[in-house]
Amino acid sequence: MRFSTLKRLRIATRKSALALWQTEHVARRLEAAHPGLEIELVPLSTRGDEVLDRSLAAIGGKGLFLKELEQAMLRGEADCAVHSLKDVPVDLEPGFAIPAVLERADPADAWVSDRYASIEELPAGAVVGTSSLRRQAQLRALRPDLSLRDLRGNVNTRLARLDAGDYDAVVLACAGLVRLGLAGRIRARLAPPDWLPAPAQGAIAVECRAGDGDVEALLAVLDHPPTRRCVEAERAMNRRLHGSCHVPVAAFAALRADHGLDLLGLVGDPDGGGILRVQQSADAEASPEQVGARAAEALLAQGAGQFLARG
């Protein structure tokens, strides 16, 4: 195990309340693990945060939340960056690595409504807000009569739109609401196996320049191997499918008591035609990449390629 001699660490972060919470959480964990370490937060605005009138798919995908933070690392203005791992493309830009994936929080989605306790309670034609194609596909499968409308912005912005009456309900991530002290807004959890999250949802990742041994050594203490094994399987499935925010892809992996892995996967039709599901199990000897690739192949065998081609 390598030890770091660094005494100061600069962490790049987006400026949203949730991003800052996650970065401050990482900072507190690092300070506890490395007494005397000085940490500086480097808040930055990303294109993904600035352009809110179009879907992520329309403006270039979730990687837009990372680009400015990665550029700051390349310029030497930051040593690492904190991300929601679900926002990190399955293939990093050359020259970057993820030495730490923190223990996963609740991976489920949250049903949030001021009037309706569940999806089933909504009247026909009710308006539900989400810009996630994955969430839209699963909502359509359950309630094809609903009106689904795009909803972007930070968590508080989305809740404000709901409270203003623009939507009858919205779907958000449970982890984000809990981290912001808003768990009381969750009317119901939309959870596996019936409802699947985005690959790696609920997990925080720390990215740095590949080969920066001193930074990697500082961050390694935060890595949670069980979480990493699960999210690597989910992301491997997504990689094999060439999934992106253009196509509804969902995945959730869980470790068994015997250290084997169970992976649930889903691909939806972006035009609203249906959903394909798969379950893949493996023993402890199988690599997460193998499990994810097998799940993807099973989905492709069901015809997922036709859905993916439309994305």
Residues recognised as catalytic:
87
Burial class (CB in 10 A: 0-12, 13-18, 19+), 212: buried
Q: Which amino acid is at 5?
A: T
- What tokens does 102 get? 């923190």
Give the Cα separation of 45 and 50 in Å (integer). 7
- Rounded Cα–Cα distance for residues 228 and 210 (Å): 18
**Which residues have a Cβ under 8 Å from the Cβ of 20 and sit 6 or more positions away?**
13, 14, 41, 43
- Contact between 208 and 148 under an 8 Å Cβ cutoff? The reply is no
Closest CA to 146 of 172, 115, 120: 120
The set of residues, in sequence order, having a beta carbon less than 8 Å from that of 104 and lying 6+ positions away, is 202, 203, 224, 227, 230, 231
**Which of 207, 219, 204 lies closest to 37, judged by CA?**
219
Angle at 61 between CA 195 and CA 100, to 5 degrees: 75
Radius of gyration of the CA atoms of the chain, in A? 19
Backbone torsions φ then ψ of 150, nearest 5 degrees: -60, 145
Q: List the beta strands (DSSP E) in 7-150.
A: 8-14, 38-44, 80-84, 96-101, 109-112, 127-129, 147-149
